Amino acid sequence: MNKPGERLALHGGLPTREAALPYGRQCLDDDDIAAVVNVLRSDWLTCGPKVAEFERGFADFVGADEAVSVSSGTAALHAAMYGMSIGPGDEVIVPAMTFAASANAVVFQGATPVFADVDPDTLLLGPTQVLGKITPRTKAIMAVDYAGQPCEYDALRAVADRYGLALIADSCHSLGGSYKGRPVGSLADVSVFSFHPVKHITTGEGGMVTTNDAALANRMRCFRNHGITADFRQREQQGSWFYEIVDLGYNYRLTDFQCVLGMSQLRKLPGWVRRRQQIARQYDAAFSACPVINPLGGRQEVSHAYHLYVVRLDLSRLNATRAEVFAALRAEGVGVNVHYIPVHLHPFYRNRFGTGPGLCEVAESAYEQIVTLPVFPGMTNADVADVVSGLCKVVRAWAAEERRACQQGCSRCN
Ligand SMILES: *Cc1c(COP(=O)(O)O)cnc(C)c1O
Protein backbone atom coordinates (compact mmCIF):
# COMPACT_ATOMS: atom_id res chain seq x y z
CA MET A 1 0.00 0.00 0.00
CA ASN A 2 2.19 2.70 -1.35
CA LYS A 3 1.65 6.13 0.10
CA PRO A 4 1.69 9.03 -2.38
CA GLY A 5 5.18 10.01 -3.43
CA GLU A 6 6.53 6.73 -2.15
CA ARG A 7 8.13 5.52 -5.33
CA LEU A 8 11.48 4.00 -4.38
CA ALA A 9 14.52 6.08 -5.28
CA LEU A 10 15.78 2.93 -6.99
CA HIS A 11 12.78 3.27 -9.35
CA GLY A 12 13.14 7.01 -9.91
CA GLY A 13 11.35 8.32 -6.79
CA LEU A 14 12.67 10.90 -4.35
CA PRO A 15 15.34 9.47 -2.04
CA THR A 16 14.67 9.45 1.72
CA ARG A 17 17.75 11.62 2.15
CA GLU A 18 19.91 13.64 -0.23
CA ALA A 19 23.29 13.15 1.46
CA ALA A 20 24.14 9.49 1.89
CA LEU A 21 24.63 8.33 5.47
CA PRO A 22 27.56 5.89 5.92
CA TYR A 23 27.18 2.80 8.15
CA GLY A 24 30.04 3.92 10.35
CA ARG A 25 32.19 7.00 10.73
CA GLN A 26 34.89 8.34 13.03
CA CYS A 27 34.40 11.27 15.42
CA LEU A 28 37.34 13.67 15.34
CA ASP A 29 37.29 16.94 17.29
CA ASP A 30 39.66 19.92 17.32
CA ASP A 31 41.28 18.66 20.52
CA ASP A 32 42.10 15.32 18.84
CA ILE A 33 43.74 17.20 15.98
CA ALA A 34 45.61 19.57 18.32
CA ALA A 35 46.98 16.60 20.28
CA VAL A 36 48.30 15.01 17.09
CA VAL A 37 49.85 18.28 15.89
CA ASN A 38 51.66 18.70 19.22
CA VAL A 39 53.28 15.32 18.87
CA LEU A 40 54.19 16.03 15.24
CA ARG A 41 56.12 19.07 16.53
CA SER A 42 57.91 17.01 19.20
CA ASP A 43 61.08 14.90 19.02
CA TRP A 44 59.34 11.56 19.01
CA LEU A 45 57.19 10.54 16.05
CA THR A 46 57.52 6.86 16.92
CA CYS A 47 58.93 4.73 19.78
CA GLY A 48 58.46 7.74 22.09
CA PRO A 49 56.66 8.37 25.38
CA LYS A 50 53.09 8.47 23.98
CA VAL A 51 53.18 4.75 23.22
CA ALA A 52 53.48 3.66 26.85
CA GLU A 53 51.03 6.38 27.94
CA PHE A 54 48.34 5.11 25.58
CA GLU A 55 49.02 1.51 26.57
CA ARG A 56 48.72 2.36 30.29
CA GLY A 57 45.51 4.36 29.76
CA PHE A 58 43.98 1.63 27.61
CA ALA A 59 44.91 -1.18 30.02
CA ASP A 60 43.35 0.77 32.90
CA PHE A 61 40.22 1.45 30.87
CA VAL A 62 39.59 -2.23 30.13
CA GLY A 63 40.76 -3.46 33.53
CA ALA A 64 43.75 -5.43 32.22
CA ASP A 65 47.31 -5.42 33.59
CA GLU A 66 49.00 -5.04 30.21
CA ALA A 67 48.23 -3.47 26.84
CA VAL A 68 50.47 -3.74 23.77
CA SER A 69 49.83 -1.31 20.92
CA VAL A 70 50.30 -2.40 17.31
CA SER A 71 49.71 -1.03 13.83
CA SER A 72 46.28 -2.62 13.17
CA GLY A 73 43.68 -4.98 14.57
CA THR A 74 45.04 -7.60 12.21
CA ALA A 75 48.56 -7.13 13.60
CA ALA A 76 47.02 -7.42 17.09
CA LEU A 77 45.47 -10.78 16.15
CA HIS A 78 48.80 -11.91 14.71
CA ALA A 79 50.68 -10.84 17.85
CA ALA A 80 48.12 -12.68 20.01
CA MET A 81 48.56 -15.87 17.96
CA TYR A 82 52.33 -15.58 18.22
CA GLY A 83 52.19 -14.74 21.91
CA MET A 84 50.05 -17.81 22.62
CA SER A 85 52.61 -19.93 20.68
CA ILE A 86 50.08 -21.01 18.05
CA GLY A 87 51.98 -22.74 15.25
CA PRO A 88 51.99 -25.47 12.60
CA GLY A 89 49.88 -28.48 13.53
CA ASP A 90 47.68 -26.47 15.89
CA GLU A 91 43.99 -25.81 15.39
CA VAL A 92 42.16 -22.69 16.53
CA ILE A 93 38.36 -22.66 16.64
CA VAL A 94 37.06 -19.53 14.90
CA PRO A 95 33.42 -18.58 14.26
CA ALA A 96 32.37 -18.49 10.60
CA MET A 97 30.58 -15.16 11.16
CA THR A 98 33.48 -12.72 11.49
CA PHE A 99 35.84 -10.55 9.51
CA ALA A 100 38.36 -12.74 7.68
CA ALA A 101 41.30 -11.28 9.64
CA SER A 102 40.24 -13.37 12.69
CA ALA A 103 40.98 -16.54 10.74
CA ASN A 104 43.82 -15.12 8.63
CA ALA A 105 45.88 -14.52 11.78
CA VAL A 106 45.71 -18.24 12.56
CA VAL A 107 47.01 -18.98 9.06
CA PHE A 108 49.82 -16.36 9.43
CA GLN A 109 51.26 -18.61 12.15
CA GLY A 110 50.99 -21.75 10.03
CA ALA A 111 48.09 -23.14 12.09
CA THR A 112 44.64 -24.25 10.94
CA PRO A 113 41.45 -22.29 11.59
CA VAL A 114 38.56 -24.64 12.34
CA PHE A 115 35.30 -22.89 11.55
CA ALA A 116 32.49 -23.23 14.07
CA ASP A 117 28.89 -22.22 13.54
CA VAL A 118 27.18 -19.51 15.58
CA ASP A 119 24.05 -19.13 17.70
CA PRO A 120 21.03 -18.39 15.45
CA ASP A 121 19.73 -15.63 17.72
CA THR A 122 22.92 -13.65 18.46
CA LEU A 123 25.28 -14.94 15.72
CA LEU A 124 27.89 -15.42 18.49
CA LEU A 125 30.16 -18.39 19.03
CA GLY A 126 28.95 -20.29 22.10
CA PRO A 127 30.04 -23.35 24.10
CA THR A 128 27.82 -25.74 22.09
CA GLN A 129 29.37 -24.72 18.79
CA VAL A 130 32.89 -24.96 20.27
CA LEU A 131 32.38 -28.43 21.80
CA GLY A 132 31.57 -29.94 18.41
CA LYS A 133 34.89 -28.78 16.96
CA ILE A 134 37.45 -29.80 19.60
CA THR A 135 40.08 -32.32 18.48
CA PRO A 136 43.39 -33.43 20.02
CA ARG A 137 45.07 -30.66 17.96
CA THR A 138 42.87 -27.83 19.26
CA LYS A 139 45.02 -25.21 20.96
CA ALA A 140 42.74 -22.21 21.36
CA ILE A 141 39.24 -20.78 21.02
CA MET A 142 38.86 -17.43 19.33
CA ALA A 143 35.67 -15.75 20.54
CA VAL A 144 34.44 -12.87 18.37
CA ASP A 145 32.13 -10.32 20.01
CA TYR A 146 30.12 -10.00 16.81
CA ALA A 147 28.38 -6.63 16.32
CA GLY A 148 29.62 -5.52 19.76
CA GLN A 149 27.89 -8.06 21.99
CA PRO A 150 30.34 -9.90 24.26
CA CYS A 151 30.24 -13.70 23.97
CA GLU A 152 29.29 -15.96 26.91
CA TYR A 153 32.74 -15.82 28.46
CA ASP A 154 32.01 -17.83 31.63
CA ALA A 155 30.75 -20.75 29.54
CA LEU A 156 33.61 -20.45 27.02
CA ARG A 157 36.11 -20.28 29.89
CA ALA A 158 34.68 -23.47 31.39
CA VAL A 159 35.12 -25.29 28.05
CA ALA A 160 38.64 -23.85 27.59
CA ASP A 161 39.69 -24.95 31.08
CA ARG A 162 38.20 -28.40 30.70
CA TYR A 163 40.16 -29.04 27.51
CA GLY A 164 43.28 -27.02 28.37
CA LEU A 165 42.73 -24.44 25.62
CA ALA A 166 43.68 -20.78 25.43
CA LEU A 167 40.80 -18.30 25.17
CA ILE A 168 41.38 -15.41 22.76
CA ALA A 169 38.85 -12.62 22.32
CA ASP A 170 38.60 -10.79 19.01
CA SER A 171 36.96 -7.75 20.63
CA CYS A 172 37.33 -5.45 17.63
CA HIS A 173 33.54 -4.86 17.78
CA SER A 174 33.01 -4.55 21.51
CA LEU A 175 35.38 -1.95 23.00
CA GLY A 176 33.48 -0.20 25.78
CA GLY A 177 31.12 -3.14 26.33
CA SER A 178 31.00 -5.49 29.31
CA TYR A 179 29.92 -8.97 30.39
CA LYS A 180 28.41 -9.47 33.86
CA GLY A 181 29.86 -6.10 34.82
CA ARG A 182 33.40 -7.02 33.71
CA PRO A 183 34.80 -4.87 30.90
CA VAL A 184 35.62 -6.26 27.48
CA GLY A 185 39.42 -6.55 27.36
CA SER A 186 39.59 -8.43 30.67
CA LEU A 187 37.42 -11.43 29.73
CA ALA A 188 39.85 -13.75 27.93
CA ASP A 189 43.53 -14.73 28.21
CA VAL A 190 44.23 -12.19 25.51
CA SER A 191 41.90 -9.62 23.88
CA VAL A 192 42.33 -7.86 20.57
CA PHE A 193 41.13 -4.42 19.41
CA SER A 194 41.16 -2.38 16.18
CA PHE A 195 41.33 1.39 15.78
CA HIS A 196 40.19 1.52 12.17
CA PRO A 197 37.95 4.59 11.58
CA VAL A 198 34.71 2.57 11.63
CA LYS A 199 35.53 1.13 15.06
CA HIS A 200 34.76 2.71 18.46
CA ILE A 201 37.91 4.83 18.65
CA THR A 202 40.40 5.48 15.87
CA THR A 203 44.09 6.07 15.30
CA GLY A 204 43.70 5.91 11.50
CA GLU A 205 45.01 2.36 11.44
CA GLY A 206 45.95 0.78 14.74
CA GLY A 207 45.31 -1.99 17.23
CA MET A 208 45.85 -3.17 20.78
CA VAL A 209 46.23 -6.45 22.63
CA THR A 210 45.38 -6.68 26.34
CA THR A 211 46.27 -9.40 28.84
CA ASN A 212 47.07 -9.98 32.52
CA ASP A 213 50.09 -12.10 31.60
CA ALA A 214 53.24 -9.93 31.75
CA ALA A 215 55.44 -12.52 30.03
CA LEU A 216 52.95 -12.78 27.16
CA ALA A 217 52.87 -8.98 26.85
CA ASN A 218 56.68 -8.88 26.66
CA ARG A 219 56.72 -11.55 23.94
CA MET A 220 54.23 -9.48 21.93
CA ARG A 221 56.26 -6.25 22.46
CA CYS A 222 59.28 -8.05 21.06
CA PHE A 223 57.22 -9.47 18.16
CA ARG A 224 55.92 -6.05 17.09
CA ASN A 225 59.50 -4.72 16.99
CA HIS A 226 61.37 -7.14 14.68
CA GLY A 227 61.93 -9.62 17.49
CA ILE A 228 64.37 -7.20 19.13
CA THR A 229 64.86 -7.38 22.90
CA ALA A 230 65.18 -3.65 23.67
CA ASP A 231 63.49 -0.75 21.92
CA PHE A 232 65.31 2.27 20.56
CA ARG A 233 64.56 4.49 23.54
CA GLN A 234 65.73 1.90 26.07
CA ARG A 235 68.98 1.56 24.16
CA GLU A 236 69.39 5.32 24.00
CA GLN A 237 68.90 5.55 27.74
CA GLN A 238 71.44 2.79 28.24
CA GLY A 239 73.81 4.53 25.83
CA SER A 240 74.21 1.23 24.10
CA TRP A 241 74.41 0.10 20.48
CA PHE A 242 73.65 -3.45 21.42
CA TYR A 243 70.48 -5.34 20.57
CA GLU A 244 69.61 -8.90 19.73
CA ILE A 245 67.03 -10.47 17.43
CA VAL A 246 65.75 -13.27 19.62
CA ASP A 247 62.97 -14.45 17.31
CA LEU A 248 61.47 -13.54 13.95
CA GLY A 249 59.35 -10.43 14.44
CA TYR A 250 57.68 -7.73 12.37
CA ASN A 251 57.45 -3.96 12.36
CA TYR A 252 53.94 -3.65 13.79
CA ARG A 253 54.57 -0.50 15.85
CA LEU A 254 52.00 2.25 16.36
CA THR A 255 53.42 5.79 16.06
CA ASP A 256 53.39 8.37 18.85
CA PHE A 257 51.02 10.68 16.97
CA GLN A 258 48.61 7.79 16.55
CA CYS A 259 48.93 6.89 20.24
CA VAL A 260 48.16 10.44 21.34
CA LEU A 261 45.11 10.40 19.07
CA GLY A 262 44.06 7.12 20.66
CA MET A 263 44.37 8.61 24.14
CA SER A 264 42.34 11.65 23.16
CA GLN A 265 39.66 9.39 21.65
CA LEU A 266 39.60 7.03 24.63
CA ARG A 267 38.50 9.85 26.92
CA LYS A 268 35.33 10.23 24.86
CA LEU A 269 34.60 6.53 24.46
CA PRO A 270 32.09 6.07 27.32
CA GLY A 271 29.85 8.83 25.94
CA TRP A 272 30.14 7.41 22.44
CA VAL A 273 29.14 3.92 23.57
CA ARG A 274 26.11 5.39 25.36
CA ARG A 275 25.10 7.16 22.15
CA ARG A 276 25.48 3.95 20.12
CA GLN A 277 23.25 2.18 22.66
CA GLN A 278 20.70 5.00 22.48
CA ILE A 279 20.54 4.70 18.69
CA ALA A 280 20.11 0.94 19.00
CA ARG A 281 17.17 1.47 21.41
CA GLN A 282 15.56 3.80 18.84
CA TYR A 283 15.92 1.15 16.12
CA ASP A 284 14.64 -1.58 18.45
CA ALA A 285 11.52 0.45 19.20
CA ALA A 286 10.92 1.35 15.55
CA PHE A 287 11.10 -2.26 14.33
CA SER A 288 9.47 -4.02 17.29
CA ALA A 289 6.08 -4.38 15.57
CA CYS A 290 7.44 -5.22 12.12
CA PRO A 291 7.52 -8.92 11.24
CA VAL A 292 9.93 -8.34 8.32
CA ILE A 293 12.70 -6.46 10.14
CA ASN A 294 14.14 -8.58 12.96
CA PRO A 295 17.03 -7.17 15.01
CA LEU A 296 19.54 -9.74 16.32
CA GLY A 297 18.99 -11.06 19.82
CA GLY A 298 20.70 -9.46 22.80
CA ARG A 299 21.51 -11.12 26.11
CA GLN A 300 20.68 -9.70 29.53
CA GLU A 301 24.07 -10.04 31.24
CA VAL A 302 25.97 -7.88 28.74
CA SER A 303 26.44 -4.26 27.88
CA HIS A 304 26.40 -4.34 24.06
CA ALA A 305 28.83 -1.84 22.49
CA TYR A 306 27.00 -1.76 19.09
CA HIS A 307 29.83 -1.52 16.62
CA LEU A 308 27.11 -2.74 14.26
CA TYR A 309 23.33 -2.77 14.33
CA VAL A 310 22.34 -5.84 12.33
CA VAL A 311 18.82 -6.84 11.29
CA ARG A 312 17.63 -10.06 9.67
CA LEU A 313 15.04 -9.64 6.94
CA ASP A 314 12.22 -12.17 6.66
CA LEU A 315 12.50 -12.40 2.88
CA SER A 316 9.56 -14.83 2.69
CA ARG A 317 7.37 -11.79 3.38
CA LEU A 318 8.95 -9.66 0.65
CA ASN A 319 8.78 -9.75 -3.14
CA ALA A 320 12.45 -8.88 -3.29
CA THR A 321 15.87 -10.37 -2.69
CA ARG A 322 18.30 -9.10 -0.09
CA ALA A 323 20.38 -7.68 -2.96
CA GLU A 324 17.38 -5.64 -4.16
CA VAL A 325 16.63 -4.40 -0.65
CA PHE A 326 20.30 -3.48 -0.26
CA ALA A 327 20.39 -1.56 -3.56
CA ALA A 328 17.09 0.16 -2.74
CA LEU A 329 18.39 1.32 0.65
CA ARG A 330 21.61 2.64 -0.85
CA ALA A 331 19.49 4.53 -3.41
CA GLU A 332 17.46 6.01 -0.52
CA GLY A 333 20.73 7.41 0.88
CA VAL A 334 20.95 4.85 3.68
CA GLY A 335 24.49 3.42 3.74
CA VAL A 336 23.73 -0.16 4.64
CA ASN A 337 26.32 -2.93 4.54
CA VAL A 338 26.55 -6.71 5.04
CA HIS A 339 28.71 -8.15 7.83
CA TYR A 340 29.89 -10.74 6.93
CA ILE A 341 30.29 -13.22 4.11
CA PRO A 342 31.03 -16.34 6.23
CA VAL A 343 34.81 -16.74 6.19
CA HIS A 344 34.79 -20.41 5.14
CA LEU A 345 33.04 -19.45 1.88
CA HIS A 346 35.96 -17.31 0.64
CA PRO A 347 37.95 -18.92 -2.18
CA PHE A 348 41.20 -18.80 -0.19
CA TYR A 349 39.72 -20.98 2.56
CA ARG A 350 37.93 -23.29 0.13
CA ASN A 351 41.15 -23.84 -1.81
CA ARG A 352 43.56 -24.09 1.11
CA PHE A 353 41.41 -25.86 3.72
CA GLY A 354 38.65 -27.51 1.68
CA THR A 355 35.86 -25.57 3.37
CA GLY A 356 32.61 -24.66 1.62
CA PRO A 357 28.83 -24.45 1.84
CA GLY A 358 27.17 -26.69 4.41
CA LEU A 359 29.98 -26.39 6.97
CA CYS A 360 28.29 -23.71 9.11
CA GLU A 361 24.64 -23.62 8.14
CA VAL A 362 23.43 -21.09 10.69
CA ALA A 363 26.03 -18.55 9.58
CA GLU A 364 25.32 -19.30 5.93
CA SER A 365 21.56 -18.80 6.20
CA ALA A 366 22.00 -15.69 8.38
CA TYR A 367 24.32 -14.27 5.74
CA GLU A 368 21.50 -14.42 3.18
CA GLN A 369 19.24 -12.29 5.40
CA ILE A 370 21.39 -9.76 7.26
CA VAL A 371 21.75 -6.06 6.68
CA THR A 372 23.85 -3.70 8.81
CA LEU A 373 22.23 -0.32 9.50
CA PRO A 374 24.23 2.86 10.18
CA VAL A 375 25.36 3.39 13.81
CA PHE A 376 27.97 5.90 14.86
CA PRO A 377 28.04 8.47 17.66
CA GLY A 378 27.82 11.47 15.33
CA MET A 379 24.40 10.38 14.01
CA THR A 380 21.58 12.73 14.94
CA ASN A 381 18.09 11.58 15.87
CA ALA A 382 17.01 12.87 12.44
CA ASP A 383 19.57 10.56 10.82
CA VAL A 384 18.17 7.64 12.82
CA ALA A 385 14.64 8.58 11.73
CA ASP A 386 15.81 8.67 8.09
CA VAL A 387 17.18 5.14 8.35
CA VAL A 388 13.89 3.91 9.85
CA SER A 389 11.82 5.73 7.19
CA GLY A 390 14.02 4.46 4.37
CA LEU A 391 13.89 0.87 5.55
CA CYS A 392 10.13 0.96 6.18
CA LYS A 393 9.57 2.55 2.77
CA VAL A 394 11.50 -0.25 1.06
CA VAL A 395 9.70 -2.96 3.05
CA ARG A 396 6.30 -1.41 2.27
CA ALA A 397 7.09 -1.20 -1.42
CA TRP A 398 7.87 -4.91 -1.61
CA ALA A 399 5.52 -6.36 1.01
CA ALA A 400 4.49 -9.79 -0.28
CA GLU A 401 0.82 -9.12 0.41
CA GLU A 402 -0.88 -5.77 0.62
CA ARG A 403 -0.45 -4.44 4.18
CA ARG A 404 0.43 -7.91 5.34
CA ALA A 405 4.08 -7.30 6.11
CA CYS A 406 3.47 -4.31 8.31
CA GLN A 407 -0.06 -4.76 9.56
CA GLN A 408 0.89 -5.97 13.02
CA GLY A 409 0.29 -2.55 14.47
CA CYS A 410 3.26 -0.62 13.20
CA SER A 411 1.94 2.88 12.54
CA ARG A 412 4.58 3.49 9.90
CA CYS A 413 2.82 1.14 7.51
CA ASN A 414 -0.83 1.71 8.34
C1 LIG B 1 38.15 -4.59 12.13
C2 LIG B 1 38.30 -6.01 12.52
C3 LIG B 1 39.53 -6.67 12.49
C4 LIG B 1 40.77 -6.10 11.85
O5 LIG B 1 41.12 -4.87 12.25
P6 LIG B 1 42.02 -3.93 11.30
O7 LIG B 1 42.41 -2.84 12.24
O8 LIG B 1 41.17 -3.48 10.19
O9 LIG B 1 43.19 -4.73 10.86
C10 LIG B 1 39.60 -7.97 12.96
N11 LIG B 1 38.52 -8.60 13.43
C12 LIG B 1 37.31 -8.01 13.45
C13 LIG B 1 36.14 -8.78 13.99
C14 LIG B 1 37.17 -6.71 12.98
O15 LIG B 1 35.96 -6.15 12.96
Four-CA torsion 292, 296, 301, 307, nearest 10 degrees: -130
Mean pLDDT of the region 18-45 = 96
Residues ≥6 apart with Cβ < 8 Å to 53: 259, 260, 263
Residue 231: pLDDT over 80: no
pLDDT digits (tens, 9 = 90+) for 161-197: 999 999 999 999 999 999 999 999 999 999 999 999 9
Atom of ligand 1 nearest to the CA of 199: 1
Provide the mean pLDDT of the chain.
94
The preferred substitution site among 99, 142, 170 for testing ligand 1, maximizing ligand atoms within 8 Å of CB, is 99
pLDDT digits (tens, 9 = 90+) for 336-379: 999 999 999 999 999 999 999 999 999 999 999 999 999 999 99
Between CA 47 and CA 129 the distance in angstroms is: 42
Atom of ligand 1 nearest to the CA of 207: 7
**What is the CA(204)–ligand 1 centre distance, in A?**
13
The percentage of residues in the chain with a pLDDT greater than 90, rounded to a whole number, is 90
Quote the pLDDT of residue 411. 64
Long-range contacts for 10-19 (Cβ within 8 Å, ≥24 apart)?
A: 10/324, 10/327, 10/328, 10/331, 10/332, 15/331, 15/332, 15/333, 16/332, 16/333, 16/334, 16/386, 16/389, 16/390, 16/393, 17/332, 17/333, 17/334, 17/386, 17/390, 18/333, 19/333
Domains of the chain (ranges plus CATH)? 9-25+269-336+374-406 (3.90.1150.10), 30-266 (3.40.640.10)
Catalytic site residue from 133, 199, 268, 393: 199
pLDDT digits (tens, 9 = 90+) for 292-310: 999 999 999 999 999 999 9
The protein residue with its alpha carbon nearest to ligand 1, atom 15, reads 172
Catalytic residue status for 199: yes
Residues ≥6 apart with Cβ < 8 Å to 151: 124, 125, 126, 143, 144, 145, 169, 179
